[in-house]
Structure 1
Amino acid sequence: MIGKPLIILSTVDSTNNHAMRLIREGKAADGMVVFALEQSQGKGQRGKNWLSQSGKNIMMSTLFNGSRFSIGNPFPLSATIALACYDFFSKYAGDETSIKWPNDLYWRDRKAGGVLIENTVKEGAWEWIVAGTGININQVDFNELDAKAVSLKQITGKEFDPLQLSSELLSHLEKRIEFLEAEGAQQVIAAYNQLLYKKGEEATFRKKQIVFKAFVRQVSMKGELEIEHDMVEAIQHGEAEWVL
């Protein structure tokens, strides 16, 4: 069961780092969750920091035994976790919630959360998977990111208990993992594409210092973003970035 055991830390460098330490020490368990009130070195995608005020948000990492999943294509698991975040957040924020490729949680054109997956591999197979999740709950001051970030409190005008909400998020994650295992990756990607940020719309991207506009089509089974400008192009994660 996801969320048992639950480790609650007052402060930590990052929940993903702590989860990795538990793996190295032989203390990891399938479904274990590390929740922190404060992170000093929170991690984001592509080496970026995830900045979060103490006690204001959901900052947690979930551990999965890698034997449950195929190493051949990691994206469906990433999409599954993003879908769980959507299920949780949209309950409060409504249908203006979406998933920005590859796995950011968005409300309108502002970032509400994100997912960072790390893993350990042994003899060519996943040994452990660590899914770090950060979602803005009560924070209202994001400094220079004020125009690009958003929280549940800003959307609803209400204050929430991040730890209590994390249990709701874990319930959604449990259901989405069950969906992946029962229905398969193709159905997960189909659900993901229904909620894709800017799908069918023109968006701006940067690739090798070149800024261009393209229509967002869909995301492939391999996790490539398919866009259309003067041609149809499949972009891999890290190959191009959104310009918002």
Structure 2
Amino acid sequence: MGLIHEGLAQHGTVIITHDQTGGRGQRGKHWVTEKDKNIALSMIIDPAPLSVPDLFILSAAISVGVFDFFSRHAGEDTKLKWPNDLYWRDRKAGGILIENQIRAIPGAPAKWNWAVVGIGININQTDFPPAVINPVSLKQITGKEFDPFVLANELCQDINNVVSALDQSGFPEILNRYNRVLYKKDEKVRLKKDHRSFEAIIKSVNAYGQLVTENGTEELFDFGQVEWVI
């Protein structure tokens, strides 16, 4: 967010980190990455012409771009786990964290000025701390060593392609693509809400970013309302 606060932000600016020690994930969790082994980057995006109610549109487009990149190397077992994790089979390969700068305007709708997209993807790391649950890297999947900097550039191009396609194909096609590769789609999983765990079938994610589940009746969950029990 430093460039934004200093008035130096430009759409498409990418900052690549070679040694990330303070990476953050969802719910205050830390992203653990070994020096020079993985992709750890931040991308500044001007969300215009999207507005504040469209937050999930940008999130879905970025997730699909990340999927395009990773699946090209890792194959069809790549999935997107709601709300914004990258999975290969039942193992986590990466994650996305989007921080938004939204400015309140008295007497007018809030203005979405900037989005800072943080992306971490395991590339060459093969040794993970015990506290990291079910991690996997591209090297473990393919048996090959990669240049993280080269792949980071490839990733940014894939994201740009999908975000740009919002103007051409529109959000419904992006959402369809997101749901086609949704982790555990049409499968029964265990979720946790507050202190209660329960089983439900994952059906889809709707246009508002809500997880649609079925357990006798259809239920919708906003981000933060439920956790996966894995």
| Partner Cα distance (1:53, 1:208) in 2 | 33
Once the two structures are superposed, what CA deviation does each residue of 1:136-179 show, in whole Å capped at 9, x if it has no partner? 00011112156511000000111111000011101101110111
Work out whether 1:78 is the aligned partner of 2:78.
no
Q: CA deviation at 1:231?
A: 1.8
User: Which of 183, 188, 199 matches 2:169?
Assistant: 183
- Work out the number of aligned pairs and report it: 225
| Partner Cα distance (2:16, 2:6) in 1 | 18
| Partner Cα distance (1:94, 1:146) in 2 | 23
Q: TM-score, normalised by structure 1?
A: 0.89
Q: 1:89 to 1:219 in 2, by over 3 A?
A: same
Q: Secondary structure at the match of 1:88?
A: helix
Gaps of 5+ in 2: none
Once the two structures are superposed, what CA deviation does each residue of 1:43-77 show, in whole Å capped at 9, x if it has no partner? 10121111111111000011012334222221011
Work out whether 1:220 is the aligned partner of 2:206.
yes
Q: Secondary structure at the match of 2:167?
A: helix
Q: TM-score, normalised by structure 2?
A: 0.95
Work out whether 1:94 is the aligned partner of 2:75.
yes
**Structure 1 runs of 4+ off > 6 angstroms?**
none
Over the matched positions of the two proteins, sequence identity in percent amounts to 45
Which residue of 2 is the match for residue 52 of structure 1?
33
| Partner Cα distance (1:147, 1:40) in 2 | 19
Alpha-carbon RMSD: 1.1
| Partner Cα distance (1:67, 1:192) in 2 | 21
User: Which of 109, 117, 120 matches 1:134?
Assistant: 120
Q: Secondary structure at the match of 2:19?
A: coil
Asked whether the equivalents of residues 96 and 118 of structure 2 are also in contact (C-alpha less than 8 Å), the reply is: yes
Work out whether 1:118 is the aligned partner of 2:99.
yes
Name whichever of 162-171 and 142-151 sits farther off: 142-151
